[in-house]
Structure 1
Amino acid sequence: MQENGISAKQYATKVVGEVEKGTVGVVWAGKDASILRLLSWLLPQSVFDMVVQSVIPIAREMAKATRRKLA
């Protein structure tokens, strides 16, 4: 989790609100959602992936979990 990220309750409230409004497709919710949405539109996918990875190091954490599981 991000240190200054929104809480699970705030995230859920935003997502449920969007679904109840009838929003379809991607729902952008979170602390940096607006800037990431803009970057996803402006940048090539590979650059966008690097930006997201620098903010949320999920690939590294997934690799660690896989290594632990295989050990």
Structure 2
Amino acid sequence: MSDNWKTLGNRYAENGLQVHLIDQRNHGKSFHSNDFDYEFMANDVVQYMNYHAIAQATVLGHSMGG
């Protein structure tokens, strides 16, 4: 859940980084869908980045091998 990253996210932001805390589909506060696999979740991240005009990013996560 993205809330788990608030403390660390705030620290990164204090050091001048733009931080986005997102929940993947079917996790935390995100939407829930019957379509659920790594390809769908990777595409969700790409769509999020496109929508917010994020050209490149360092992606951190946990669980799912993040």
Larger radius of gyration: 1
Q: TM-score, normalised by structure 1?
A: 0.29
Q: TM-score, normalised by structure 2?
A: 0.30
Q: Greater helix share, 1 or 2? A: 1
